[in-house]
Amino acid sequence: MPKVLTHEELLALRSAARARGEVVVQCHGCFDIVHPGHVRHLKQAKGLGTILLVTITGDAGVGKGAGRPLIPEELRAENLAALDFVDWVYVEHRPTAGVLLEEVRPDVYVKGREYELNNDPRFRAERETVERHGGRVVFSSGDVVFSSTALIAAIERSVEPFHARLSQLLDRPELQGPALSSVVTGFRGRRVVIVGETILDTYVLCDRPSVAGESPVMTLRPVERRQYDGGAAILARHVAAMGAKPVLVTALPRDHAADAIRRRLLSEGVEVRAIETDHPVPEKQRFLVGAQKVMKVDLCEPYVMDAAQQERLVGMAGDAASDGGSCHAAIIADFGLGLLTTGVLLRLARAIRRRVGFISGDISGRRSSLRSMRGLDLLCPSEAELRDAYGMFDEGLPTVTWRLMEETRARSTIVTMGPEGLVAFEPVEGQATGYESRVRGEHVPSLTPYAIDALGCGDSLLAATTLARAGGASLLASAFLGSIAAATQAQRIGNIPISAADLRQGLARVHNAHLTFAAPEVIASRTAALRAS
């Protein structure tokens, strides 16, 4: 039977499916250009039931401007029917899906993630209809939403190399060049305490690999070794390079490797306060052929801290925050090596909070404890780390983020998503009810077309964002500067500090590239503003 149904065929098939106890899942939209976001959305919807029904708005009801839809309803229906996981397709000629939902009464009605933040009365009516008949309204997972409208607008403007969302962001006054440049200037002289493990990141550059003669295993021949400071040490170096005054609180042994780290950090303006341990400096070795990483070896023995050492670490962090005058910010970084246990994290936050106005936190590694970072002003996990912490892999990203913020009492959260950029979340003011989301998200797309090396991008983002927020910048402006830092880091091999000059150059690159595709009057005004800054 053809998948594209008439009204009578749809209702008859729905009635038969209900009698057989089959679960009908419905998705509704325009589907003018079927893009990757649609495919992911529909695949997830199919997994929620037995039969996937996709209903599309007829040509007369598509109110998205002149020339829309680009594709007539018959071809849009055929495009969807060609997907093997779509069972039924129907063209709805009435203005909204409300009446159709009353007729079909789907068991599950799936909407895109963006509807968690949507206060449209039309969607409210749709939800009430579905739930009145015993159905469920489910939001698709946390994939970044592709927009057919934005894609079509980009096509009409010829080739637009930046995400359509970036065009919207750069129109905001707080993200203009002079405003962000002023934020970077404000980094100078700010005292920041960084607490966490010091790690050595070693890159072993190898010749072209071959296959061993005795068995089919890869053979690597090292030709060069490069070593970089990692963990909390690179956070401190980022902060120093951006113009601030960092104090690193960590654990170090008394050996030549640790002494070299101390001298290197001191020469760059980092004050080091360390408890002594017998634990060697953790090292992570990465083997590269060209710019491609082919293997990673972690030479990291877990820290085993006794109660006295834990007390010294917490006390040292509290003293660092109170010595030398005012302390503007603190960063707690747990790399999952045992230095910052759950109890230490809780005591650290309390000890530092009494002396510092802004505290941020981040984790790395499966043994780190995101959920133990309580009472911080900003958390910066990746989407994978966030979902792993709660075992929530199919729920919408705002839902998982709110779970984190509610449990930890974090005031804001930036969730990084690799090549898809980041989303900065803040709680919605007032009491959310019903379907309304409790968090408001701002998406910042990735500001680099590709990453040469992703190592350290999260650290540079955290350093820049923390300094900006501590200086009073908005969450969006801070996240944008953090994205600039991450994009700059992604174009380098190894952990190399991002400086204030790097941030200014990154800002100029993004704004100048965007101006190439802007209208003449926009070019004139923004060029003048950039020159003034």
| pLDDT (0 to 100) of residue 58 | 87
| pLDDT (0 to 100) of residue 451 | 83
The three state secondary structure string of 416-455 is: ECHHHCEEEEEECCCCCCCCCCCEEEEEECCCCCCCCCCC
Nearest 5°: phi and psi at 107? -75, -35
Asked if residue 527 lies in contact with residue 259, where contact means CB atoms within 8 angstroms, the answer is no
Query: What's the average model confidence in pLDDT over 8-18?
Result: 94
Instruction: Lowest mean pLDDT of 133-137, 188-192, 206-210, name the range.
Output: 206-210
| pLDDT (0 to 100) of residue 158 | 38
- For residue 475, pLDDT over 50 is answered with yes
Dihedral sign of CA atoms 282, 287, 293, 298 in order: negative
Residues 38, 208: Cα–Cα separation, whole Å: 41
Residue 412 vs residue 160, higher pLDDT: 412
Per-residue model confidence as pLDDT tens digits over 292-343? 889 999 999 889 889 999 999 999 999 999 986 689 999 999 999 999 999 9
Instruction: Name the band, by pLDDT with cuts 50, 70 and 90, for residue 96.
Output: confident
Instruction: Lowest mean pLDDT of 26-35, 96-105, 189-198, 238-247, name the range.
Output: 26-35
Query: What's the average model confidence in pLDDT over 461-478?
Result: 97
| pLDDT (0 to 100) of residue 117 | 63
Query: What's the average model confidence in pLDDT over 407-434?
Result: 85
| pLDDT (0 to 100) of residue 523 | 47
Asked if residue 224 lies in contact with residue 233, where contact means CB atoms within 8 angstroms, the answer is no
- For residue 16, pLDDT over 90 is answered with yes
CA dihedral 325, 329, 334, 337 (to 10 degrees): -20
Residues 14, 27: Cα–Cα separation, whole Å: 15
Residues 349, 476: Cα–Cα separation, whole Å: 24
Residue 528 vs residue 258, higher pLDDT: 258
- For residue 38, pLDDT over 90 is answered with no
| pLDDT (0 to 100) of residue 393 | 86
- For residue 161, pLDDT over 60 is answered with no
Which amino acid, residue 5? L
Query: What's the average model confidence in pLDDT over 170-186?
Result: 92
| pLDDT (0 to 100) of residue 431 | 57
| pLDDT (0 to 100) of residue 150 | 53
| pLDDT (0 to 100) of residue 287 | 94
Strand partners, 91: 56
Tokens of 19: 């009698």
Dihedral sign of CA atoms 266, 272, 278, 280 in order: negative
Cα 319 off chain centre by: 33
The topology (CATH level 3) of 188-365 is UDP-N-acetylmuramoyl-L-alanine:D-glutamate ligase (3.40.1190)
Instruction: Name the band, by pLDDT with cuts 50, 70 and 90, for residue 164.
Output: low
Residues 285, 70: Cα–Cα separation, whole Å: 52
Nearest 5°: the CA angle 271, 272, 275 is 155
Strands 191-196 and 245-252: parallel
**CATH 3.40.50.620 region(s) of the chain?**
7-156
Per-residue model confidence as pLDDT tens digits over 102-146? 999 999 999 876 676 666 788 888 889 999 999 999 887 545 445
Query: What's the average model confidence in pLDDT over 246-250?
Result: 97
- For residue 516, pLDDT over 70 is answered with no
Asked if residue 288 lies in contact with residue 205, where contact means CB atoms within 8 angstroms, the answer is yes
The CATH class given to the 7-156 domain equals alpha beta
| pLDDT (0 to 100) of residue 10 | 94
**CATH 3.40.1190.20 region(s) of the chain?**
188-365
Asked if residue 47 lies in contact with residue 23, where contact means CB atoms within 8 angstroms, the answer is no
Q: Considering the chain, what is the average pLDDT of its residues? A: 86
Query: What's the average model confidence in pLDDT over 368-375?
Result: 90
pTM, entire model = 0.71
Query: What's the average model confidence in pLDDT over 207-232?
Result: 90
Residue 418 vs residue 195, higher pLDDT: 195
